[in-house]
Amino acid sequence: MLTTIDELRNWSNEQHAAGLTVGFVPTMGALHEGHLSLVKAANERCDKTVVSVFVNPAQFAPNEDFHKYPRPLENDLKVLKSAGAPEVFVPSVAEMYPDGFDASVHIGGVSQPFEGQFRPVHFSGVATVVLKLFNAGQADIAFFGQKDYQQVCVVRKMVSDLNVPVKIAVCPIVREPDGLAMSSRNRYLSAEHRRQAVVLSRSLAEAERLISVKKEQKVKNIVAAMTKTICTDTDFTVDYAAVADPETLRELDIIDPLKHSAVVILLAAKIGTTRLIDNAVIEL
């Protein structure tokens, strides 16, 4: 296990010196099948894989769940061992943010709507830590999940605008058998709320049916149907449900297949103290 930035950089340099490619999977731990799908993709596409496990304080607001975020490190290490035993990078907060640390990466545009509205500090925290991890890890390809769709847009924009020499690979959302997108935060749900959480993926399926089968073009009708699916007879409240351009994340009012070859449906909803996000890309 590597714990310092120097160790990670040296490890990566050694792999490259031996002519090997490096895949990087950044995570906050509490690993599940979603994370492991990224590790599998990295193992397939790269000679060596490194997985980081770091709960990044900079991407949580003071009222969010940084302190209660699950940190089952021993189990994570065990799980990774049976997932091809990648190298693991587990830095301390002091290693990543030493005394006097005073930088932050701001990405405009794609970080502003949706999560950016509800979690104003989130994406600068994400961009800052991801850039630090990229600089330390020197990977050839970094693997992210479509589960965090807007995060992928922010990371891509950062890599492109700041000329970061890494390729970004995006892996599909891994879901529970009932459709709930896997998330480390699902473990916060009570049994009853876990049962209700199926409405999130159902609302995306409903939106997809309206768009692809019913040819509904008015986003307000799609959002109304999604909200109804999510909130009827459940304890959910919706932070946002929206249809957007899959690249710019500009919100759409009308879905016009002549203007768009695909759209992304994004949603965030709260149940009790747990906030969940999900999304679906729909080809038109």
Nearer to ligand AMP, 16 or 40 (CB): 40
Residues 6+ apart with CB under 8 A from 124: 58, 104, 105, 106, 107, 111
Residue whose beta carbon is closest to ligand AMP: 145
For residues 113 and 118, what is the distance between their CA atoms, to the nearest angstrom?
9
Report helix, strand or coil for 177. Answer: coil
Smaller CB separation from ligand AMP, 38 or 46: 38
Active site residue 35: yes
Q: Which of 16, 35, 67, 260 is catalytic?
A: 35
Closer residue to ligand AMP (CB): 109 or 179: 179
Residues that bind ligand AMP (CB under 6 A): 27-28, 34-35, 37-38, 144-145, 147-148, 171, 173-174, 181-184
Residue among 54 and 219 whose Cβ is closer to ligand AMP: 54
DSSP string covering 232-270: TTSSEEEEEEEEE-TTT--B-SB--TTT-SEEEEEEEEE
Residue 128 is encoded by which pair of tokens? 């800052």
For the CB of residue 277, give the shortest distance to ligand AMP in the complex, in Å: 10
Query: What span, in angstroms and rounded, lies between the C-alpha atoms of 182 and 126?
Result: 20
Active-site residues, by number, are: 35
